[in-house]
């Protein structure tokens, strides 16, 4: 059975390895660290609070090693597409700090006004420190006081980082709230540069767009202490498109909820939306996950193409595909199109199948192998679907990606390349999934939808259980 914590991990698209820790105690402690609830009626803040909960819970479960090159630049580590426009904003030869045991170095970083992306290295300066660093003991022991023995043992076994390893704070932060002063930090370990050093890619996300900052960010690792913080300048920020329409729009295209769009900021690597609902929904709106249909925006490019948030990898206000802002004609939010030059908005005209819609979802006992009816989804999505009765094979194409699914197989072909359909039960155990034909309906695992750049949160009832309906976000 996939637990709720595993669902959070999957929802944030974090590495597959995570420890099997006692969930309720972790969530209790995560909740205890949240200083205050989100401001009412602020869509961006409510989404951030929910995402922060998810991120904090997932970070407690630790990050795993990624197959990346430790010396790779920050752009190659974080982004897809043409990153050349970002190169002038990449900082290198940054600050270092050390004590008698360790040296902390920031190799390179990029600041987009809302997120700091960096590659950092910790080097041991003596044999004892090297043993503690490479065995993960120095990281594990940092967590003992707050998280206890179970966390320490989990970190020693996994060799991963926990929530207390990487810390940051904006110096001279003035009136910024806690989320903006410290940011929300996630990490992914890179291959070790040497036998006495370790490297990570670091992503620090602030709760709102800050833009250029006069004072630097202080960054340190927990086991070295804040006295060994390095300073990262935040005064050089990538360009952005900033719209302040204060216009009434449809904030949630699925529910039809209306609101006021105060501000929309788009950078090549992120977005920030400040919108306020005209009427606050009841709590079931959030507990059912209907609010995930918010922030549906599109970019109309000068070449005439339309890009959706999901096509750009838009999760948690970040993009993993770099946007060339000079080629953006307009930003479409909900049902309204806003020209990038700030001229008057007008009603948007987009196909209905670009907006969030619902589709049947098959929820097996134990919640393990979530599935979707292939033909129904393709029809609603506008994907090309073909069925070969003789070979019992379906071929579905969307956004240039073709999925070939044959009944009874435990793999799928993605653009002709076989991909296993294994389902991860735990960090050390997987079970096969299959393409199934039952009562004339072909079904496949929902994870295949990621190849089409779709988000697919399942809707919950009042008890938090799946309703058998998923919200598809193209």
- Identify whether residues 44 and 160 lie together within a single domain: yes
Angle at 425 between CA 419 and CA 427, to 5 degrees: 90
Which of 160-174, 310-324, 454-468 shows the lowest mean pLDDT across its residues? Answer: 160-174
Banded model confidence at residue 65, pLDDT cuts 50, 70, 90 = very low
Which of 40-44, 134-138, 218-222, 240-244 shows the lowest mean pLDDT across its residues? Answer: 40-44
Question: 377 near 388, Cβ under 8 Å?
Answer: no
- Identify whether residues 156 and 245 lie together within a single domain: no
- Identify whether residues 314 and 393 lie together within a single domain: no
pLDDT of 347 > 90? The answer is: yes
Q: How far is CA 69 from CA 54, 74, 88, 160, 193, in A?
A: 28, 11, 22, 18, 9
Q: Mean pLDDT for the chain?
A: 85
- Identify whether residues 321 and 371 lie together within a single domain: no
- Identify whether residues 108 and 197 lie together within a single domain: yes
- Identify whether residues 362 and 347 lie together within a single domain: no
Whole-number pLDDT of residue 432: 87
Compute CA 168 distance to the chain's CA centroid, rounded to the nearest angstrom: 20
- Identify whether residues 260 and 376 lie together within a single domain: no
**Residue 236: left if φ>0, alpha if ψ -120 to 50, beta else—which one?**
beta
- Identify whether residues 379 and 317 lie together within a single domain: no
Could you tell me what percent of the chain has a pLDDT over 90?
73
Question: 204 near 193, Cβ under 8 Å?
Answer: no
Q: Cα–Cα distance between 261 and 282 in angstroms, integer?
A: 20
Q: Cα–Cα distance between 97 and 150 in angstroms, integer?
A: 31
Question: 393 near 405, Cβ under 8 Å?
Answer: yes
Q: Cα–Cα distance between 164 and 10 in angstroms, integer?
A: 22
Q: Which of 181, 213, 232 is the last residue of a domain?
A: 232
pLDDT of 428 > 80? The answer is: no
- Identify whether residues 400 and 294 lie together within a single domain: no
pLDDT, tens only, 351-390 = 999 999 999 999 887 656 799 999 999 999 999 999 999 9
Q: Mean pLDDT across the stretch 53-81?
A: 56
pLDDT of 88 > 90? The answer is: yes
Q: Mean pLDDT across the stretch 221-247?
A: 96
* Structural domains in the chain (count): 3
Compute CA 355 distance to the chain's CA centroid, rounded to the nearest angstrom: 20
Whole-number pLDDT of residue 299: 98
Sequence-separated contacts (24+) of 385-388 with Cβ below 8 Å: 387/442
Whole-model pTM: value is 0.81
Q: Cα–Cα distance between 229 and 3 in angstroms, integer?
A: 37
- Identify whether residues 132 and 251 lie together within a single domain: no
Q: Which of 172, 206, 232 is the last residue of a domain?
A: 232
pLDDT, tens only, 268-308 = 999 999 999 999 999 899 999 999 999 889 999 999 999 99
Whole-number pLDDT of residue 367: 58
- Identify whether residues 348 and 258 lie together within a single domain: yes
Q: What's the CATH code of the domain at 432?
A: 3.30.457.10
Q: What is the DSSP letter of 315?
A: B
Q: Mean pLDDT across the stretch 134-156?
A: 94
- Identify whether residues 315 and 419 lie together within a single domain: no
Q: Cα–Cα distance between 45 and 14 in angstroms, integer?
A: 22
pLDDT of 102 > 70? The answer is: yes
Range of the domain at 455: 357-472
Q: Which of 232, 267, 297 is the last residue of a domain?
A: 232
Q: Cα–Cα distance between 263 and 275 in angstroms, integer?
A: 7
């Amino acid at each position: 059975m996939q637990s709720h914590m595993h669902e959070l991990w999957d929802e944030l698209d974090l590495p597959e390895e995570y420890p099997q820790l006692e969930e309720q105690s972790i969530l209790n402690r995560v909740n205890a660290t949240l200083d205050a609830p989100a401001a009412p009626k602020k869509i961006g803040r409510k989404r951030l609070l929910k995402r922060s909960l998810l991120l904090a819970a997932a970070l407690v479960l630790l990050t795993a090693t990624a197959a990346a090159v430790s010396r790779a630049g920050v752009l190659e580590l974080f982004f897809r597409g043409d990153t050349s426009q970002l190169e002038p904003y990449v900082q290198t030869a940054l600050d270092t700090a050390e004590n008698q045991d360790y040296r902390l170095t920031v190799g390179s970083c990029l600041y987009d006004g809302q997120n700091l992306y960096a590659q950092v290295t910790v080097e041991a300066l003596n044999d004892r420190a090297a043993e503690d660093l490479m065995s993960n003991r120095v990281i594990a022991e940092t967590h003992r006081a707050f998280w206890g023995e179970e966390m320490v043992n989990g970190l020693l076994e996994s060799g991963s980082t926990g929530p207390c390893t990487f810390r940051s704070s904006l110096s001279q932060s003035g009136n910024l709230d806690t989320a903006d002063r410290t940011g929300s930090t996630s990490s992914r370990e890179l291959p070790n540069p040497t036998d006495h050093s370790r490297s990570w890619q670091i992503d620090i996300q602030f709760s709102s767009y800050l833009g250029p900052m006069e004072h630097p960010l202080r960054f340190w690792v927990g086991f070295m202490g804040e006295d060994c913080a390095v300073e990262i300048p935040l005064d050089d920020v990538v360009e952005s498109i900033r719209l302040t329409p204060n216009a009434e729009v449809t904030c949630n295209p699925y529910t039809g909820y209306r609101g006021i769009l105060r501000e929309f900021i788009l950078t090549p690597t992120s977005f920030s939306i400040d919108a306020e609902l005209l009427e606050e929904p009841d709590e079931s709106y959030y507990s059912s996950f209907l609010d995930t249909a918010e922030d549906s925006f599109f970019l109309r490019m000068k070449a005439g193409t339309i890009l959706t948030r999901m096509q750009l990898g838009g999760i948690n206000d970040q993009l993993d595909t770099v946007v060339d802002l000079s080629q953006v004609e307009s930003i479409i939010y909900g049902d309204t199109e806003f020209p990038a030059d700030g001229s008057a908005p007008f009603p948007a005209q987009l196909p209905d199948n670009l907006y969030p819609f619902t589709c049947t979802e098959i929820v097996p006992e134990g919640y393990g192998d979530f599935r979707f009816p292939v033909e129904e989804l393709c029809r609603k999505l506008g994907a090309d679907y073909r069925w070969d009765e003789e070979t019992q094979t379906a071929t579905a194409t969307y956004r240039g990606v073709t999925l070939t699914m044959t009944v009874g197989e435990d793999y799928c072909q993605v653009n002709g390349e076989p991909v296993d359909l294994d389902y991860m039960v735990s960090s050390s155990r997987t079970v096969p999934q299959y393409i199934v034909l039952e009562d004339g309906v072909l079904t496949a695992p929902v994870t295949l939808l990621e190849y089409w750049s779709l988000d697919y949160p399942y809707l919950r009832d009042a008890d938090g259980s799946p309703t058998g309906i998923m919200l598809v976000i193209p």
